[in-house]
Amino acid sequence: FSLHYWTHRKIDFRDLDDRLNSCAGYRQIGRSLSVSYRVVKNRVLRLARNYMNLLDTSYVGFPLTEDIAFDGFESYMRSQYIPDNFNIAVGCTSQVPYAFTLSLFRRRGSMTDQQRRNRTALDAIWRPPPGDLIASCRVVFRDILSIYLNRPELSPFVLTTDKKPEYRTALKSLPEWRHLRELGLVEHRTVSSRLPRTRKNPLFPVNYLDREIRKNSAAHVRETVRGDREVTMTMSRMVITLGYHTFRKPYRIDNRTENKDVQTHAEVVNLLDNRETQEAFDRLYTKRHLWSHQKLKAGWMEDIWLRKKKNPPVVCFRTGMVPLKGQPGNGWFARHLLE
């Protein structure tokens, strides 16, 4: 049914997509379109679900023909007391981001005495779940392996990461990875994260995507004041950023004014080759989809679509208490229009 169903005001979703990927913040978009933040938030969530539907459709039967580079993109949510880490798997040839998850951290690094007291006040109320990074990486690795297994004939596959021990732990906990490694089909290659960020760096695909996110997403610009304040919103905005990068941004940009015949990242690996995926792309800004419509139901998408991750509470550092008002949340939503 229509993407505008259950709305009082129609918004051009293609225009919204372009604005979000031109480093515009929610309030800027709201002022320009003369709508409230609640309206912008609602449309962002709808657009993110449509991008996930497009990704789900494109992965059905898709043989992953390239190796993967995997690393974390670190930012923060609400304040620098809650650092977050997007664990992103990127194709080494196409620079297509195939999957990602989000992990929340405790603030670390150098702090003033007052900042340490503030962190202690937050720690008394909320701390990130233990082992969250390992669990999040495991979800991405499992979903990537499920796409790899679509190959007609299983050929060697290389996963490149930096030397973070959590990545190795997550891989070793997957029985499918252990089995494929015994067969000599998969390899986990590690490189130093301190290597120069050049094209020769094996982690170039994720370093390149890191730069694209920093310059195109208002939530992740250095020293931004437009950061996300809710878990679902920061993950949904990342879905839109990565979906736009995959299906709409040219694979390589030059000085040509006409880009009609330029390949996108998705076209480099033939993600849009089958009829169902092309139809899903054509309906990206017009039709609405439910979770029950999805075929693969990838684990990383489920957390975002069904809003499973919980928001850390806002804590008053002066009193150490959690105020009743101003707490983040998903708000009311019609579950029958979500699932």
Question: Taking CA 208 as the corner, what is the angle to CA 147 and CA 66, rounded to the nearest 5 degrees?
Answer: 25
> In the predicted model, what is the mean pLDDT of residues 195-218?
95
* Number of CB atoms found within 10 A of residue 255's CB: 4
Q: 337 pLDDT band (50/70/90 cuts)?
A: low
Spatial distance between the Cα atoms of 70 and 193, rounded to a whole number of angstroms:
12
**What percent of the chain shows pLDDT beyond 70?**
95
Question: Taking CA 91 as the corner, what is the angle to CA 102 and CA 15, rounded to the nearest 5 degrees?
Answer: 65
* More confident: 117 or 336: 117
169 Cβ contact partners less than 8 Å away, ≥ 6 residues apart: 134
Backbone angles phi, psi at 98, to 5 degrees: -85, -30
Q: Sign (positive/negative) of CA torsion 248, 75, 25, 303?
A: positive
State pTM to two decimals: 0.94
* More confident: 337 or 285: 285
Q: 262 pLDDT band (50/70/90 cuts)?
A: confident
Q: 115 pLDDT band (50/70/90 cuts)?
A: very high
Report pLDDT for 296: 94
Q: Is the pLDDT of residue 97 over 80?
A: yes
Indicate left, alpha or beta for 237 from its phi (over 0: left) and psi (-120 to 50: alpha): alpha
One-letter amino acid identity for 196?
A: P
Q: Is the pLDDT of residue 126 over 90?
A: yes
